[in-house]
Structures are given as structure tokens and as C-alpha cells.
């Protein structure tokens, strides 16, 4: 252009180039990290400048300055702290949206009904959330439920079974706190059904519910099982609940994974073969159905139950009836084992293998 100074042309070209670069930085998805993705940890209280630097260093945005400018333009002074995961190219607008709305990276953990604190500790360690010892250290501290259960010696019974969302590496305390919080929410509804205002009623309900939970997986049987335990408690008969022996041995660090006949006399206040009444506290973490069953046991004459080999139980009113059910259970068990053995023996040998049979 005639008459236009050269420096003006150079400046205009530089401004155009800068504008183009800024537009590219804002609107073109960028991935400066590996194809496996990248985790970005945003600290609490981090400034926009610090966040921009972290994102640029991790390869999530092309320019820290452009991202900081976007933050200032938005009028948003703070972004949500936490760990974020990026696994594909994104624009600064998408990054900003994720941080502004706190869409932190989380993993699901499903805690099944009837898991004890030992089972949950094994689960969180197996899933890579935290160590077994870290979780157990939190679960063994009853401070979080002191207002609900003054005599509780741990959080057993209060670690509510549900699906949770946690960051990649939560502490055992964070996980236990989340489970207790969920219990409080559920109990706020369930406690309206409780008619027992006496001290310790909650602990007794949870303890009975935990026994019910560990005895039967069938929701329809739980009120019946609770009714059997209720009847035996009223008659001062020992509950003779096998899972209490397992739990007693777990507390002592002596459970091998299988309950043997020789373990039944194991000395512990939790062993309901040796000590009448309920154990000192819950032996597991019951779900809603078992808590409801403990709050309202079935009105029944049953005093006994035994497994029926189909996932449920036979119930009996008298010892004679119970002994008959035990014999029936053993007969069925033997028949099933024989059937499995016959089916296995009748299968043809695998190709290239000889089949050795007894004469």
C-alpha cells in the first residue's frame, strides 16, 4: 500500500498472526499428552495463572496465557480443585467448562450388602483405591458415629453398602466417611419405623440386621430369619449363628477363609454358640432390607432354620422338625455331590489324554 509506513504493515501482519494464533489456541482441539491420557491435579486455592501453567505443562492446552485470558474474560475467579482426566484432544473452552463445573475424575466402588469392614478393606485394596491397613485404621475408629452409638467400638454396621464414586486415590478415612454419611441418610428414613426409644436401640437393630444379612441372601427370607432370632432371644436360647464365629475369628486374625467344626467353640464375646444374646456389635454392614427386617421381624413360631441347597432355608418350629430338616439338607447335598461325580465320570476323555478309572 502506497504511503503506508513499513512498520505499520509489519505491525498489522504481526497482529493478524497473533490473532490467528490466539483463535487457533482457543478453538482448535489440542493434545500435547500421550494417547493413554493424562491426569491433572488442580490444587485447592490455585490461581488462574497457576492453573493455566499446570494445564500447559501437562499438554492439555496449547497456551497458558490464552487459557488465563479465557478465565478472566469469563469472569470466573475460581475453578474447582481436584483431579481431572483428559484422554482426547479438547479446546480450552471444554477444559474451562470441566474445571468450572467440577467434573473431576472419579471411579465407582460397589460395596455389596453384608460385607464386613474386613471384606471392604480387601475390596478397596484389590481395586487399587487405598491399602487394606489404611481403610481398616479408619473403620476401627468409631468417632464418626459416637453421637449415634456411644458404645460402638468400630464403624462396623455403619459402612452402608451402596455404589460410591471416589477419586483415584482417596484415603481410607475419606472412604469410611462417605459410607457413614450414606448410612446416616438411609437411617434418617428407616428410623421413622423404629418404635424403640431406649438407649442402644440402634446398635441392637444393626447387630440383629447384620446377623440376618450374613445368614440369607434372599430378601423374602430376612423377616423370617429375624423372627427366628427374635424368638430365640425371647427364650434366652443361644442364637448359634455361624457367621458370628467367623467374625470373632476375623477380629482375632485367626480366620483361614473356611469355618470348620473345630472352630465352633472359639472363645469370643461375638461367638453366639458360647454366649447367649446378641453379640456386642454388628458383624457386617447390612443393607436396607435386612435393617427393615430387624426393625419388624416376622411374627412366627419358628425357632430353627438350616440351608436347603437352593440358596434358601428350611424353617422348623421344634428340635425334632429341625433335625428332620438337617437330615433332608444332608441327603440333598449328598445327592448333588453324587450327581456331579457321575456327570464328571461319564464325560469322554479329552483328545490326546488317557482316561484312568478305578476297576
Kindly state the average pLDDT of the residues 85-99: 91
Consecutive H or E run containing 52: helix 48-57
pLDDT in tens, 212-237: 999 998 999 999 999 999 999 999 99
Q: What is the 3-state secondary structure (H, E, C) of 200-222?
A: CHHHHHHHHHHHHHHHCCCHHHH
Give the confidence band of 192 by pLDDT, cuts at 50, 70, 90.
Answer: confident
Report pLDDT for 9: 53
What SS3 class is residue 129?
Answer: coil
Give the confidence band of 195 by pLDDT, cuts at 50, 70, 90.
Answer: low
pLDDT in tens, 102-151: 889 999 999 999 999 999 999 999 999 999 999 999 999 999 999 999 99
- In this structure, which topology does domain 26-100 adopt according to CATH? Dna Ligase; domain 1 (3.30.1490)
pLDDT in tens, 48-67: 899 999 999 999 998 888 88
Report pLDDT for 181: 97
Per domain, the residue ranges of the chain are 26-100, 117-300
> In the chain, at which residue ranges do the beta strands (DSSP E only) sit?
38-42, 82-86, 107-110, 163-166, 304-307, 313-316
Give the relative orientation of helices 201-215 and 288-295 as an angle to the nearest 10 degrees.
Answer: 120
User: What are the distances in angstroms from CA 59 to CA 27, 84, 165?
Assistant: 16, 13, 27
Consecutive H or E run containing 243: helix 242-251
Give the angle subtended at the CA of 273 by the CAs of 270 and 279, to the nearest 5°: 25
Q: What is the pTM of this model?
A: 0.79
Amino acid at each position: 500500500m502506497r504511503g503506508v509506513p513499513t512498520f505499520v504493515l509489519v505491525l498489522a501482519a504481526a497482529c493478524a498472526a497473533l490473532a490467528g494464533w490466539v483463535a487457533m489456541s482457543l478453538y482448535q482441539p489440542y493434545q500435547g499428552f500421550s494417547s493413554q491420557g493424562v491426569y491433572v491435579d488442580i490444587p485447592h486455592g490455585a490461581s488462574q495463572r497457576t492453573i493455566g501453567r499446570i494445564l500447559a505443562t501437562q499438554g492439555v492446552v496449547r497456551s497458558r496465557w490464552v487459557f488465563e485470558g479465557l478465565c478472566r474474560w469469563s469472569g470466573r475467579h475460581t475453578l474447582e480443585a481436584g483431579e481431572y482426566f483428559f484422554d482426547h484432544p479438547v479446546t480450552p473452552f471444554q477444559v474451562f467448562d470441566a474445571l468450572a463445573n467440577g467434573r473431576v475424575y472419579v471411579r465407582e466402588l460397589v460395596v455389596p450388602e453384608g460385607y464386613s469392614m474386613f471384606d471392604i478393606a480387601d475390596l478397596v485394596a484389590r481395586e487399587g483405591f487405598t491399602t487394606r491397613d489404611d481403610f481398616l485404621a479408619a473403620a476401627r475408629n468409631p468417632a464418626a458415629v459416637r453421637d449415634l452409638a456411644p458404645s460402638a467400638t468400630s464403624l462396623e454396621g455403619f459402612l452402608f453398602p451402596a455404589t460410591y464414586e471416589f477419586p483415584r486415590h482417596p484415603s481410607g478415612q475419606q472412604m469410611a466417611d462417605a459410607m457413614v454419611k450414606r448410612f446416616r441418610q438411609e437411617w434418617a428414613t428407616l428410623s421413622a419405623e423404629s418404635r424403640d426409644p431406649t438407649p442402644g436401640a440402634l446398635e441392637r437393630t444393626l447387630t440383629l440386621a447384620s446377623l440376618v444379612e450374613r445368614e440369607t441372601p434372599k430378601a423374602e427370607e430376612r423377616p423370617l430369619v429375624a423372627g427366628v432370632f427374635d424368638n430365640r432371644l425371647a427364650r434366652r436360647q443361644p442364637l448359634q449363628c455361624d457367621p458370628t464365629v467367623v467374625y470373632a475369628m476375623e477380629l482375632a486374625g485367626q480366620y483361614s477363609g473356611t469355618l470348620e467344626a473345630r472352630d465352633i467353640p472359639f472363645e469370643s464375646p461375638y461367638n453366639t454358640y458360647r454366649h447367649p444374646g446378641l453379640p456386642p456389635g454388628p458383624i457386617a454392614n447390612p443393607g436396607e432390607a435386612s435393617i427393615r427386617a430387624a426393625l419388624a421381624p416376622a411374627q412366627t413360631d419358628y425357632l430353627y432354620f438350616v440351608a436347603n441347597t437352593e440358596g434358601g432355608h428350611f424353617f422348623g418350629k421344634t428340635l425334632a422338625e429341625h433335625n428332620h430338616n438337617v437330615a433332608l439338607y444332608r441327603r440333598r447335598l449328598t445327592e448333588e455331590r453324587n450327581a456331579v461325580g457321575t456327570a464328571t465320570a461319564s464325560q469322554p476323555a479329552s483328545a490326546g489324554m488317557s482316561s484312568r478309572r478305578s476297576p
